[in-house]
Structure 1
């Protein structure tokens, strides 16, 4: 990596204080500078030093007062019951601090100066963070931001990757500058191996958003880049190229990263990706799977051909729970957690509830039965922590996934069925639904379960009434969408209609707001938009269609008309599945 240094060879005291033209601060600056110089001379001479810092056979004499003034780490060490508080020699055995980085930190403490090179930037930040020398971290952050502003083209490709990683790790203000400039050099960065090895999901997610042609930053670049300081260095990037880079990043550590695919794909406009690449990637990406109903095998939805296809090698063994010849299991609740799909409850075609619960292992294409916990017709299920919560109109249970043991939890006070359920910020939200009695009205209630206290509370009701809807969390925002609602013009009558309503919850205000649908017309296939992204709601499950909608045009849904044409009585779930081996 090429070395780089702050102009003037180092960060100095003048960078840490404001120098006023009236001379008052200049006088303070020179006085403080003189005092620091004398204290550093005392350190060099070993005079009045009262502690020796020893690290990997190197020793550094210092003054406890200076160390404590700059570092919360040393202040705590010297003023508490640490064993080192009274020792003349303190042994530092931390992996985050090296002899060279400690020397740089001490130089900063005694002189406010620090030499930064490409080789020592990481070690200095690690040491400053571990020793809690906040002023040093802030100055390095300020330096990086200034360098991005004044000399963005001066960074080498390897420097960009390192600065991206460091900025994310230490939450530097320079992270946004690093992400923007990494977006400009996206293709060049993606040709390096360490891009795939070291880049965090947070940094990659930010960059993918910035290179999306519908992002304001990308649009501004398209207008202005040719005349900017980057000039001919800028390489335009297509969504197909971005998609290929994402797949390569996932494949670099597939076991750990495959579950991040859905999160990252939200930042890409799949409508602009070459269909040939999408076909190649089918086995690597999340698919929409339908199970249950009258078919003995599962089906998956192909987003390229916009149709459902059978998976004859994915046969489910729940005929054992059925009592009549020709019967089937309808409307089970499906949930994907990790490498497994869980199937709870449902009903037979003759209207009987099903007790049998199953688990499908995606990697081995095998099934096993998990303990039963009573009859549940259409339970809502949601993962939270290491448990799955099963919420129906009369009972609520949680399944501890590692042990497969059930335990009963406090039940919702209003006993509503067919509600939308989601885990949000450590609690479970149960939204809408209806009572068990025939012709009961659709509800706008919002009930919240706290697993820490095993208690329920009522929250602000939704603006409209919801049943058979889906709740989803996107970018740490809770939404409810689709399903059934009452006719807005005749709400008192209780007649239900297909809902075109999407609402978002404002936790701070404790209120719900309707989400505009300017580009997606009313439809009966469950399509809706959040921001400029297209989603579908099927069987109380939402999936991202991978489509970014231009702001100034209506989006045609003609190609998606078969999205709801899966097996009657089936339920759907999103999961990472290699469909090729199951066909």
Structure 2
């Protein structure tokens, strides 16, 4: 049979036994065979058999299809092969969708994945949205967010983005995963987008400026923004900018989602006898070792405190114990942008708690769950601290499940809470919509676990180690809300862990176990973990915080290694 089918393409080339002529928009005529076209495409089958005028005609004009695309589709019908070129891949993709040619669609999708770049990604994204290809749209959207700086530097792509409606522009400029090396470039894009149609868009400036992260912009950068004519004519925006100038500012304008590459292991506290800070600079693979840092200001003021850094440059020390060993709800704050760089007391937690989880979102710090030692009960309370107003606010609707030692992270205005413990270890997963202010339950974890390290890479949350599964690593897909598992780690962890991504593929886990420092690397190609190093000796009562920062961010705060 295979030998017989080889003759069909020869018949096409020699125009033998043809019973239909397809005509492109440009007038190209291709003589073919109805039975071959109908067997390849359900649309051609319907066209030739249903009571349409095409079923009675020998010449059919294929509308909105140029010659190259028509030739590619006809050739595919006879040979099951397709030759894709960038100059017509989107037209071929659209035609394949319309004519129900699944193999060509899949081939176009693979071509796009392999050949996407800053110039074509916007066009690919628009086309995938047009044909409702959710997988490729998500792929292009992710690429767009991650490479926004290069995309807006492409004249062709920028022209297409400037055609976007306001809702679409708002969608990406406020997106948590937007990667930009300089926040002022967001402002420059806003002005460019408005200038594309000033008459109809100038009134939208205030709405767009709400999503500019002013705390990332230097004083010099804010002054440049104030001098923009569109801004000067808006008193409300000018007042907000002047108010922001009164805050301590970074020396240089920062970006969003800059990859952390300096890891600090902070042990002890300033009221103790033994305390030290070590750091690892991960930028050089040839010199990965822990070094002693003289930035002792990072040492927190109390024992057993939880440390966290916000996007706007504040380090907080939350909770811990006093000199008598009693749990406290005290909070201290260190403004990394200030010249003095001193810990100062700030507003304490609304509710006393220990064994709580902490996560950050922009200038906010969220404290989730915990255990109330005075009331001897587990907490379902969530409160957040605004580093601008210095006020703690409790979320009105309590978390459905009271718990301590859980893991939490925020992505796209959603607070995700995993596992933990109350009377039992938990597999429960709950999500709070910060904007709409309600909780919902998600599918539980595959195992009950607590004290897991947590991080997120794009649409995947990683849960690492934990008290009940030291070496296991779980993956939670935020797009499809399903679970997967990675190979087991070598040593694992259940406390004092920070997880960061170094490079495009590898996941690094840094552990500070009361002074013992270790680092494991997941090799994505080999699909296995490697114990890279382990150093130090554990010290009873020693602190165990790890903070991950970016080298440029440190320089903008006036901190030099």
For the superposition of Structure 1 and Structure 2, which TM-score range results when normalised by the shorter chain?
0.3 to 0.5
TM-score, structure 1 as length reference: 0.46
